[in-house]
Amino acid sequence: MLPLLFAAALLAPVASSAASDGIIRAPVNALRASAPAAKLRSRQNAIEVLNQRQGTRYAVEIEVGTPGQKMEIILDTGSPDTWINPVCETANVPEDCFAAARFDASKSKTLNSTGVQDILRYGIGNATIEYVYETVSIGSATISNQIIGVASESHSIPLGILGMSPPLTGENEYPYILDTMVDQGLIKSRAFTLDLRGVDNPTGALIFGGIDTGKYIGTLAKLPMLTPEQTPVGADRYYVTMTGIGLTLDTGEVVQSDVTVPVFLDSGSTFSHLPTVIVQAIAGSFAESEYDPESGYYFVPCDVTDIDATIDFYFSKKVIRVPLNDFIWQVEQYCILGVLPEEEEPMLGDTFLRAAYAVFDQDNRAIHLAQAANCGENLVAIGSGEDAVPSSTGECTELPTPTGGGKSLDVTRTRAPTAKFTGSAPTIVGGPGPAASKGSDGGDGPLPTDKAEGDKDKNAAGGFGVAWGVMGAVVVGNVLAGMLL
């Protein structure tokens, strides 16, 4: 645990630089993981979030130090800590790491070291950091004396991380980014909006302190965050209750079943992770899917992504429909379902979030969800208090109403795969996954050596990034024939 004085040092408000409307917003641009941005953009009232598609890492452009040094770091709703300067020689994608800008502490006039070190562990990889006080700029906002980590050692992570989750233990060790934004008057409450968008859409948004009613359909459904006692392993994450799973076919017919599954929303996880029976039911809906027992992945014909059908996620009366083009991950000529089996800590990662408009309200412990869309821009500030997030209706046109149907998706039994995958494939590396533990949580203490701690125990993290093999494409003739179970 960090010393109390260390945590309290930033509680007094200081002069800040922010947008006049109190909203810090961000367009989102798509990039291949193997290529860095063509150039770093000048700081503006918009945080660039770069969708690196081969491995899906969403990177936010920030400035660190005085004068500001621009760099991109991974946007992660699955971990609370913000840190920079991974070690490229031990990164899982070293070429991306070497191509990215790095922070030079010797050139900053505002860096103050604390002398406090910690080990941050993720689903994939870890980082040994030293906490420092430094100036951090995000969009038009400048945060003074923010505590961040500077890595001295890291494994399997190519970029630093912007942590946006609550602390796993439920208690802050120090003021995180959202805390300091509120303390310094940049935003009115600890709330932000995430709109990643589909893989074919070059723009999306990260908004601190506001929503954009031109980017979603219908109303924002307010879902209570589960308490740590209600979550599978007692971790304080962005957990909500998923109440149903299904598919909408290209005919408009719906196949759906009720479930009760606690899931957390994690932008740092490339894939979604759900109980095995649900994964098998979804995969079994594709007649020509093939299962790889080594990785747990299901491969499908790539022509499936041309079908106007969706994977549907239910949260009480709110349904988020994810187009197959967003849910099925494509690498070259190969395709894989965007969901993996996970019994301990189910999560909805990027394959879900690309279709959702999500508002994370830490102060009121609520997640607000709507179907993402794009019909213009209308920013509305998030206030403070119990109803801080506006109840504004989205300005985009409603999706066509499915025709319904009396058939259900069978999630009551395990089943054997229809076919076994026997091919070979390239390796693709995904996001870090959620935070697992840290040295200051009472971890085992020793510094990591040549292997990422998170790699040793998948279940300790509740999720992980991805590396997979893929199959050749086949014809789509009877792909959806198995959907009506």
- Rounded to whole angstroms, the Cα distance separating 343 from 327 reads 20
According to the model, what pLDDT value does residue 31 have?
42
Which residues make Cβ contacts (< 8 Å) with residue 437, sequence separation at least 6? 121, 168, 443, 460
pLDDT band at 265 (very low <50, low <70, confident <90, very high): very high
Residue 346 has pLDDT above 90, yes or no: yes
Residue with the larger pLDDT of the pair 124 and 276: 276
> What is the pLDDT averaged over residues 344-349?
95
pLDDT digits over 154-202, tens only?
A: 999 999 999 999 999 988 999 999 999 999 999 999 999 999 876 666 5
Whether the per-residue pLDDT at 313 is higher than 80: the answer is yes
Q: Is 395 left (phi over 0), alpha (psi -120 to 50) or beta?
A: alpha
The residue with greater pLDDT, 229 or 14, is 229
Mean pLDDT of 367-394: 94
Asked if pLDDT for residue 93 goes beyond 50, the answer is yes
d(C-alpha 334, C-alpha 290), whole Å = 12
Distance CA 65, CA 119 (A): 23
User: 455: which residues sit within 8 A by CB, 6+ positions away?
Assistant: 124, 125, 156
How confident is the model at residue 475, as a pLDDT?
Answer: 28
Identify the residue with better confidence: 41 or 404: 404
Mean pLDDT of 273-301: 90
Going by C-alpha positions, the residue among 160, 117, 172 that lies closest to residue 136 is: 160
Q: Which residue has better confidence, 464 or 238?
A: 238
Whole-number Cα distances in Å, 278 to 47, 148, 404, 415: 36, 39, 20, 10
pLDDT of 333 strictly over 90: no
Residues whose CB falls within 8 Å of the CB of residue 8, separated by 6 or more in sequence, listed in order: none
Q: What pLDDT, on the 0 to 100 scale, is given for residue 180?
A: 97
Q: What is the pLDDT of residue 432?
A: 63
State how far the Cα of 376 lies from the Cα of 395, in Å rounded to an integer: 8
In whole angstroms, give the CA distance from residue 58 to residue 75.
6
Q: What would the mean pLDDT of 316-334 be, rounded to a whole number? A: 88
H or E element in which residue 437 lies: strand 435-438
pLDDT at 5 over 80: no
Contact 297, 468 (CB under 8 A): yes
Share of the chain above pLDDT 90, in %: 53
pLDDT at position 77 over 50: yes
Q: What is the pLDDT of residue 309?
A: 93
Q: Is the pLDDT of residue 463 over 80?
A: no
Q: 353-362, 441-450, 466-475: which has the minimum mean pLDDT?
A: 466-475
Question: Is 474's pLDDT higher than 90?
Answer: no
- What pLDDT is stored for residue 181 in this prediction? 96
What pLDDT does 476 receive?
A: 29
pLDDT for 68: 97
Who wins on pLDDT, 7 or 202?
202
Kindly report the pTM of this predicted structure: 0.83
User: What was the pLDDT predicted at 437?
Assistant: 63
Contacts of 393 (CB under 8 A, 6+ apart): 213, 218, 219
Start-end of H helices in 34-154? 94-99
pLDDT at residue 483 greater than cutoff 70: no
Residue range 410-434, pLDDT digits in tens = 776 666 666 666 666 545 555 565 6
Cis peptide before 67 (omega within 30 of 0): yes
The confidence score (pLDDT) of residue 484 equals 36
pLDDT score for 139: 83
Mean pLDDT of 381-394: 95
pLDDT at 198: 67
pLDDT value of residue 61: 87
Q: How confident is the model at residue 470 (pLDDT cuts 50, 70, 90)?
A: very low
Give pLDDT, residue 197: 75
Residue 21 scores a pLDDT above 70 = no
Mean residue pLDDT of the chain comes to: 79
Instruction: Please give the average per-residue pLDDT across 275-304, as a whole number.
Output: 89
Nearest one of 258, 296, 199, 248 to 480, comparing CA atoms: 248
Greater model confidence, 63 or 124: 63
pLDDT at 329: 84
Flag whether pLDDT at 236 surpasses 50: yes
Query: Does the structure show a pLDDT above 90 at 119?
Result: yes
